[in-house]
């Protein structure tokens, strides 16, 4: 077992349960990558060792920061808040599939069917690895130029009856179907209109992305949750079926929550969840 700062602890891959744990989360902290118009994270030590003999910290943050899960109420009025989502939606089996994509490339129905159509099961967690997690940084490239799901991808997830969607990009929708593009409070970066026209060979971004967050709305109206900014050890479990845990806070009327997304494998198949019998 590893020794961490002088303390012996069970390891992610070597532990008494015989399970393998893979962290699919990006780190949270000061000056980490953040959505382009959100206030930066603030962390203050209100007690520390030299002062009080204990460490206590105060954090100010949006919950849509680093690896996080959205509640349906984040986008669709009248749908469940974070504390109203039943617990089975934060735990279950599923797959991590590779769909490599480059700048602004769409991820649609055909991409998902080719990568996962024969693998996905009803009520699965489906996580998509585009390779974009390698670009996770405080940059316009990561947040504004990423590939992303288009409406037909949302239709695929609904058709397959999955319960959670995760991906290594900035939002459940293509960035140009968000406020980064010409929708709602956007465009956050107006110069991207000309860049998109050049990139697309003359097409207007409003024609190629006419709807505001259509995938968010398709998922949430059908009881499917979405995890944004997946990263960490995602490459180690790509192409594998695992069990996933992603529990948020029990935040009343919460619109989303930062999570520790964990993929769990049981190589020997010997671990069992306790039956719950009384003692």
The fourth-level CATH superfamily of domain 3-265 is: Putative cyclase (3.50.30.50)
Residues of the chain short of pLDDT 70, as ranges, are none
Reference 208, options 185, 177, 186; nearest CA is 177
In the chain, where the domains are located: 3-265
pLDDT score for 1:
79
> What pLDDT shows up at residue 59?
97
β-strand pairing of 20-23 with 262-265: antiparallel
Determine the pLDDT at residue 180.
96
Q: Provide the 3-class DSSP secondary structure of residue 57.
A: strand
Q: Tell me if the pTM is above 0.75.
A: yes
* DSSP bridge partners of 148: 106
Tens of pLDDT along 130-155? 999 999 999 999 999 999 999 999 99
Pull the structure tokens for residue 161.
């009856």
Non-local (6+) Cβ contacts of 185 within 8 A are 37, 179
d(CA 38, CA 256): 15
């Amino acid at each position: 077992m590893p020794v961490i700062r002088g303390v012996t602890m069970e390891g992610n891959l070597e532990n008494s349960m015989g399970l393998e744990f893979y962290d699919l989360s990006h780190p949270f902290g000061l000056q980490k990558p953040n959505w382009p118009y959100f206030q930066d994270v603030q962390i203050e030590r209100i007690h520390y060792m030299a002062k009080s003999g204990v460490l206590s910290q105060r954090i100010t943050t949006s919950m849509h920061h680093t690896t996080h899960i959205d509640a349906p109420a984040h986008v669709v009025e009248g749908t469940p808040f974070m504390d109203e989502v039943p617990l089975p939606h934060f735990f279950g089996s599923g797959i991590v599939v590779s769909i490599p994509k480059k700048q602004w490339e769409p991820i649609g129905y055909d991409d998902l069917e080719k990568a996962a159509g024969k693998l996905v099961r009803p009520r699965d967690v489906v996580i998509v690895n585009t390779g974009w997690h390698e670009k996770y940084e405080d940059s316009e490239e990561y947040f504004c130029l990423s590939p992303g799901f288009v409406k037909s991808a949302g239709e695929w997830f609904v058709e397959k009856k999955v319960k959670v969607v995760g991906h290594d990009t900035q939002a459940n929708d293509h960035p140009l179907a968000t406020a980064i593009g010409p929708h709602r409070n956007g465009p956050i970066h107006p110069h991207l209109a000309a860049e998109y026209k050049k990139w697309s060979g003359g097409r207007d971004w409003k024609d190629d992305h006419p709807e505001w967050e259509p995938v968010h709305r398709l998922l949430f109206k059908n009881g499917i949750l979405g995890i944004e900014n997946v990263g960490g050890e995602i490459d180690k479990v790509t192409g594998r079926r695992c069990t996933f845990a992603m529990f948020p806070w029990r935040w009343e009327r919460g619109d989303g929550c930062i999570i520790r997304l964990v993929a769990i494998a049981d190589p020997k198949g010997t671990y069992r969840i306790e039956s719950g019998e009384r003692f």
